[in-house]
Amino acid sequence: MFNVGDQIVYPMHGAGVIDSIEEKDILGEKQSYYILKMPGEVKVMIPIAKAESVGVRTVIDKSSADKVIEILEKDETQMDKNWNKRYRDNMDKMKSGDIYEIADVVRNLSFKQKEKGLSTGEKKMLNNAKQILVSELVLAEHASQEDVEQLVENKINTSFMMFRTEDVGHQSVVNKFIPFNGTTGTANNN
């Protein structure tokens, strides 16, 4: 059981703080609910009786947050080439509520977006996964949303450049050192 003020994660929605615990009568049935205050002043009601079964958990600690950042710094993991299968696999990772799996989805889809773009469905999934990831890292790192969003983007951009430019890098380096005017590369001192 969680208490008012606890920081928790609601899978597929993100992290927030328990603002209150209230008893509500909905459709003639009285239940106790966690009232979760989410980023952007959004409030979500979670039935206390079902919280565990839907995967509600506490926010990760600082050391786990560091491990999440390390995932963003790595190369993408293998994803299915079939769009439907890849979408289902990524959706399963997000539904798990596991922050490491969500970081994997964010990194992989970000790489794919930079390489050749994403379908509308995968763009929406990437935005949702980023929102979930950022909301938890904000609480774990005690940082602003803007700072965490920038950190996530920087880590993804750096890892993309490191792992993807190696493939193209040899061509780029050669182009930089071969003169385009047909000379042999010696300095022209006229």
Higher pLDDT, 95 or 172: 95
Q: Is the pTM of this model over 0.85?
A: no
The per-residue pLDDT for range 110-123, each reduced to its tens digit, is 999 999 899 999 99
Give the tokens for residue 139. 């609480």
| Average pLDDT of the residues in 150-154 | 97
Element spanning 88, H or E: helix 83-96
Asked whether the beta carbons of 51 and 2 are under 8 A apart, the reply is yes
Asked whether the beta carbons of 32 and 47 are under 8 A apart, the reply is yes
pLDDT for res 166:
58
Helix (H, G, I), strand (E, B), or coil: what is residue 183?
coil
pLDDT for res 187:
45
- Domains delineated in the chain: 7-58 (2.40.10.170), 62-176 (1.20.58.1290)
Low-confidence winner among 36-40, 48-52, 164-168 (lowest mean pLDDT)? 164-168
Higher pLDDT, 181 or 69: 69
Strand partners of residue 15: 9
| Average pLDDT of the residues in 159-173 | 66
Q: Is the dihedral of CA 60, 64, 65, 68 positive or negative?
A: negative
How far, in Å, CA of 51 to CA of 95, rounded? 14
Element spanning 161, H or E: helix 145-177
